Structure 1
Amino acid sequence: MSKTAESLAPAPDPSRWKALVFIALAQLMVVLDATIVNIALPSAQQDLGISDGNRQWVITAYALAFGGLLLFGGRIADLWGRKRAFVVGLAGFAAASALGGAATGQATMLGARALQGAFGALLAPAALSLLAVMFTDAKERAKAFGIYGAIAGGGGAVGLILGGFLTEYLNWRWTFFVNIPFAVVAAVGAYLVIREPSGTRNRAPLDIPGVLLSTLGLVSLVYGFTRAESEGWSDATTIGLFVGAAVLLGAFVFTESKVRSPLLPLRVLTERNRGGVYLSLGLAVIAMFGLFLFLTYYLQVVKGYSPVKTGFAFLPMIAGMITGSTQIGARLMTRVPPRLLMGPGFLVAATGMLMLTQLEVGSSYAGLILPAQLLLGLGMGTAFMPAMSLSTYGVDPADAGVASAMVNTSQQVGGAIGTALLNTIAASATTSYLVSHAADGAGGGAAAQLLQARAMVHGYSSAIWWAVGILVTSAAIALALINTGKPGAGAVAASSEDGEDALPIPVAVH
């Protein structure tokens, strides 16, 4: 290793592993919040007098603010500094959670959820970009992103367990209050131990047209899919939202190609490896979000599991994700090209999903659901880890925040699409089954109940077939687009004057 290269490379931050603990804790809190409220929603709705028509807004308000503001949040992190954005995001998230937990009416609850989403949009890209600029050695980077990937993938299932416990044994309000200790510990710890590398901020003026166009475009897109789920794909407002999203996002891309200091430099998207990550990961999340929803309903409605038992039923998937991410992905990432982890990882997950197409009313948990979940977890964990790392690999440090925001945006939009698209497919298949088998439930009573259960399961398995196809497509995209070799001895992107993609600078491995 030449002395020049060594002198160019920043010394590793001695507190980086302590910092990872607090970054991981914050990420867990954000991911938990995406699912923990789902289980508490029926109780909260009853207590606060929220109508059935407005119930979905408890979920939608969070998704719209989070998905719509992610790119803005990533750019603010690059401008302010990631540490400051991270701590402010945590403080705001804790305050919004306290407001949600103390809500006495519908308006306060919806406002609190929107605020949670807004501060989450600042926090999530700051967390990922801090990892990107603090861990520069390839082996250490692989371990750090392995832990982060396991949390990003498995945190949603942990949210189902925690949500079940808190709702069943305490009160729905605790699904909000539980965020406060997470946020306080993470914020204090981050303030004390994180030392952001110097010279990695992007102090260019803020691209206001880009902020407005991207925020409105993403909100329109996410809301379009959310509305399609409740009102149907042919609803005039739904179509209008999709057309509006296409126009706004098209105008955003055009604007970014012309302005001097774009919100999202197009070089972040057009580099084939990062583009491949955003696309394949977004598609994979479509499949995963739909599955979380179907399995939750299957276990509670068809199998009669309690909320707590349902949460625990997801443990094999969490175990698989942690193993795939920290043991398989992290160990192999410095030895094999990322596409040879992501492609096969998505295919293993598709195999687990394929098993779930065989779901029936009387299916055995141990014989079918448990092994399918293990395969899903192993596959997604193995694929998530290199994907998270590649999303910022080789990017100019000044663009680390928006690159991190893009991987979060692809997951958020993927989640909205997955819930709406797969739910619609399932509902349509369920209705068709009920119509074609109406005679089976003609006697009413137990026969009608069994028909309803069979129709639901038929709907789920029909939608899961689509999820299998989506995961296979994710694998194909990862194998075709991602062409970077194994990350060698490690790389930190160097800031470049001309704004082109920076070349990695080798870092000595100690």
Structure 2
Amino acid sequence: MSVSQRLILATLSASMLMTILDGSIVTVAMPSIQRDLGFSPSELSWTVNAYLIAFGGLLLLAGRLGDLIGRRTMFIAGNVVFTAASVLAGAATGREVLIAARFLQGVGSALAASVVLGILITHFTGNAERAKAIGVFSFTGAAGASVGQVLGGVLTDALNWHWIFLINVPIGLATVVLALRVVPADRGIGFGAGVDVLGAVLVTSGLMLGIYTVVGIAEHGWLAARTLTLALVSALLLAGFLVRQATAPAPLLPLRIFRSRNVSGANAVQMLTLAAMFAFQVLVALYMQQVLGYNALRTGLAMLPAAVAIGGVSLFVSAPLITRLGARTVLVAGLLLLLTGMAWLTRLPVHADYTVDLLPMMVLIAGGGLVLPALTGLGMSDAEPSDAGLASGLFNTTQQIGMAIGVAVLTTLAASRTGSQLAEGVSEAAALTAGYRLAFTVAAGLLVAALIVTVTVLRRPAAVAGSVSSEALTVAG
């Protein structure tokens, strides 16, 4: 790997670290934010939901715009918006300002994250070096998730919650400076062929409304009139978008991209896997605090072995394995490890011993360090050079949708089981534990479904290693 490639990878990883860090650091500080700004429990969820709606809703559009105007331009713009929004969030003294700042952070994250993988694959052309780069990239994401939980506890306890946002500012400024200096400019394919404005409106509004509906399930219920109505409208908007893409002269999402079994299959597997993995991160943290009585800092430290396991495997093990065995084989192995870990969680006791009941799962979750790099390569495979940003945006979109659905569905199931147990006179700790066990059982089912899709849909090349078509190895423009 050349010096220029290392600098590019460092720049992309810094942006990913900031995005992932921000997603996890907020959860630990939410009680302090609620006390200081007077959020009600339902309002407090919008410190997370506002970010998810903007991030997930804009990724696909942002990825296509990156192809049109240049991925470097989109990447820099996203980091500028995110950094400015972090300043606004850190200075917020009212609920409305903080929620608006979180929405803007989601916008910035979408602009930057939508093109990151497109930039990466165009600058790492060999199978081995691309696999290594993807491993480093995945390690950054895993590290950011758990470091965020630990750092959130430290900053909130030692200073105040404002610093969980202000910590993004130096990272964001450094990322922008590095991007200007080390990421080569690309011209993009331009707007000459026209822009599908109607398609952009349909998909952005459909995705935003869909995520808004999903994150509201926990509060309003599955069969509430509000939930069903919004879900129907979202489905109609997205159906209209697909019809538009089949007929538009310059579609925002050329449907040809789904002809690749690897692209379609990898995105489906990613949604299922991340729905289970992200729910694991949230629910295990809740179990430690609500059942075992851990504080925020101790919870973050207890989750650290999982981050070390995932990060170590993605950084040192995944690349040589993918190069030697192929991404599909490595993906199957990783999913089996994750499934074993999730099955372990289905037997959690009320009075758990960390070493016996939780630490083995933290080790097995290392399967994520195999799954994520393999999926990244497969999800970007077969992309034409003019569609690299689109494929990146699509991959990130299914990632966010999977996480949003996973948290909404599994936390709702857990809460429902807990409520029924409490109604039967079971103790609060036992009722909570029963709810979490149900959620982990469903999460295990999602991983089984991911395994089935992997085996039946994804191709078995000799060595995928995150490869893309030969044309996609050249920077567009």
Equivalent in the alignment of 1:259: 248
Alpha-carbon distance, 1:146 to partner = 0.6
Is this contact kept in 1: 2:263–2:378, CA < 8 A? yes
Instruction: Report the Cα distance in structure 2 between the residues aligned to 1:35 and 1:28, rounded to whole angstroms.
Output: 11
TM-score (norm 1): 0.89
Q: Report how many aligned residue pairs link the two structures.
A: 473
Equivalent in the alignment of 1:144: 133
Determine which of 437, 462, 474 is the counterpart of 1:461: 437
Deviations 1:94-142 (A, max 9, x none): 0000000101111111110110001111000122211011111111000
Equivalent in the alignment of 1:482: 458
Equivalent in the alignment of 1:46: 35
Is this contact kept in 2: 1:344–1:475, CA < 8 A? no
Is this contact kept in 1: 2:217–2:408, CA < 8 A? yes
For 1:284-299, list aligned pairs within 5 A.
Answer: 284-299=273-288
| Residue 307, structure 1, aligned to residue 283, structure 2 | no
> Closer, same or farther in 2 for the Cα pair 1:229/1:83, shift >3 Å?
same
Instruction: Report the Cα distance in structure 2 between the residues aligned to 1:490 and 1:424, rounded to whole angstroms.
Output: 35
> Closer, same or farther in 2 for the Cα pair 1:379/1:215, shift >3 Å?
same
SS at match of 1:95: helix
Is this contact kept in 2: 1:338–1:482, CA < 8 A? no
Equivalent in the alignment of 1:424: 412
| Residue 228, structure 1, aligned to residue 217, structure 2 | yes
> Closer, same or farther in 2 for the Cα pair 1:326/1:479, shift >3 Å?
farther
Is this contact kept in 1: 2:326–2:464, CA < 8 A? no
Is this contact kept in 2: 1:133–1:492, CA < 8 A? no
- Code of the residue aligned with 2:387 in structure 1: it is D
Equivalent in the alignment of 1:403: 391
Equivalent in the alignment of 2:20: 31
For 1:186-265, list aligned pairs within 5 A.
Answer: 186-196=175-185, 201=189, 203=191, 204-265=193-254
Greater Rg by CA: 1
The gaps in structure 1 that reach 5 residues or longer are 1-11, 441-450, 496-501, 506-510
- Code of the residue aligned with 1:456 in structure 2: it is L
Instruction: Report the Cα distance in structure 2 between the residues aligned to 1:165 and 1:252, rounded to whole angstroms.
Output: 45
Q: Percent identity?
A: 38
Is this contact kept in 1: 2:374–2:466, CA < 8 A? no
Worse overlay, 155-164 or 16-25: 155-164
Alpha-carbon distance, 1:340 to partner = 0.7
Equivalent in the alignment of 1:182: 171
Alpha-carbon distance, 1:389 to partner = 1.7
Alpha-carbon distance, 1:208 to partner = 0.6
Equivalent in the alignment of 2:381: 393
- Code of the residue aligned with 2:382 in structure 1: it is G
SS at match of 1:335: helix
| RMSD over equivalenced CA pairs, Å | 1.8
Equivalent in the alignment of 2:81: 92
Instruction: Report the Cα distance in structure 1 between the residues aligned to 2:10 and 2:142, rounded to whole angstroms.
Output: 17
Alpha-carbon distance, 1:151 to partner = 2.4
Instruction: Report the Cα distance in structure 1 between the residues aligned to 2:342 and 2:66, rounded to whole angstroms.
Output: 37
| Residue 323, structure 1, aligned to residue 312, structure 2 | yes
Deviations 1:149-193 (A, max 9, x none): 222344322211111111111110011101111111111111111
| Residue 166, structure 1, aligned to residue 133, structure 2 | no
Alpha-carbon distance, 1:432 to partner = 2.1
TM-score (norm 2): 0.95
Is this contact kept in 1: 2:413–2:435, CA < 8 A? yes
Deviations 1:345-390 (A, max 9, x none): 11110101111111112111111211101101x2111011011122
- Code of the residue aligned with 1:116 in structure 2: it is Q
> Closer, same or farther in 2 for the Cα pair 1:491/1:14, shift >3 Å?
farther
